[in-house]
Amino acid sequence: MNLAFYGPSQKAASGGDYLNSYLLQGLAQHGCHITAKNTLQQKSAADETALVDGILWQQIKQPIAKRQIAICHGPISGQEREFYHRCHGVVFVSKALADKAKQLFGPMNQSFVLDAAAWQFPWKQRFPKKELRLAQIGRWDENKGQLQLVAGMEDWHRRKPAFHWHLTLVGNKDHNTLYSEKVMSIVKRLPENRVTILGEIPPSKLTNIYQQIDVVIVSSQYESLSLVALEAASHGALVLAWGRGGIRRLIAQGAGLLLSKPEELPKILGQLYYQREYLRRLQQRSYRFAARLPTWDKESSRLMTWLDTQSQHKEL
């Protein structure tokens, strides 16, 4: 199969971009010939099948290939109805997102729902240290919740907690300069030994961080899937989250603990610090959850089978 992929061109890579790359690599390994096109100006009349990132929905007024398949990462608002109904099929990155689309758009054309997947890594025992090691991973913006997280940590620090903690922030700060400045203004008020700020790091190089961290905090307001949660669990780190969307399903299946509100974080972290055996059991449960998941290669194979089926359908 020849496939033209149209994705956004942006400086700050997102989890959706990384997920796209996993799927495209898998499709290529299964015999799919892929041409990646960053702009719609690169479209060609010869394109038989186009896989289009749904983030481009406002730019696509007419089908750009004989078969146009959208990949929907969300979140969606309902304004995209016409775009998705013009597509010959839609790939949803999670069941939560597929259910939301059905609620907003009604019955869809042919659709495919990805199962949660993860790369498999060997279990590495974490040894207790003086401090509880925390991390938040994601590009800096309102949805990812870095501002709310560090503000909460500052308030907690004022109360002089009886244990040590260290927070590592990983992600691109240049995506939203004004937002990043607000986050940094709070970080600077915290002791230097409390927070480490790293830039954008591709998932392939995050292994060392995941293996050294006790808890990964997914502070997002909404996550359609949460690649960070899947990768943290696959390395044996405990995931804490309180947002909406597909992240809640992952937590319910064993990826970590779901908080009803972010204000619960200090209490939970205190329990994890003083009850290290409890923390270890939760980390092992997260790891076992991820170990049961298919790999992204297997999900790509399943997607390839579906795309082959779609290519046999007559054009709309």
pLDDT digit string (tens) for 195-204?
A: 999 988 877 7
Decide if 52 is inside a domain. yes
Q: Is 295 exposed, middle or buried (0-12, 13-18, 19+ CB in 10 A)?
A: middle
CA gyration radius, the chain: 21
Residues 38 and 171 in one domain: no
Residues spanned by the domain of 86: 2-115+295-311
Q: How far apart (Å, rounded) are the C-alpha atoms in residues 244 and 225?
A: 10
Read off the pLDDT of each residue in 134-141 and give the average, rounded to a whole number. 94
Decide if 126 is inside a domain. no
Decide if 123 is inside a domain. no
Residues 173 and 274 in one domain: yes
pLDDT for 175 beyond 60: yes
The total number of structural domains that make up the chain: 2
The pLDDT value given to residue 44 = 60
The pLDDT value given to residue 39 = 58
The pLDDT value given to residue 219 = 95
Mean pLDDT (the chain, rounded): 88
Q: How far apart (Å, rounded) are the C-alpha atoms in residues 307 and 217?
A: 35
Give the tens place of pLDDT for each residue, 259-275. 988 889 988 998 999 99
pLDDT for 315 beyond 50: no
The pLDDT value given to residue 305 = 94
Backbone phi and psi for residue 74, each to the nearest 5 degrees, phi listed first: 75, 180
Q: How far apart (Å, rounded) are the C-alpha atoms in residues 53 and 76?
A: 13
Residues 181 and 274 in one domain: yes
The pLDDT value given to residue 314 = 46
The closest of 247, 231, 245, 223 to 293, measured between CA atoms, is 231
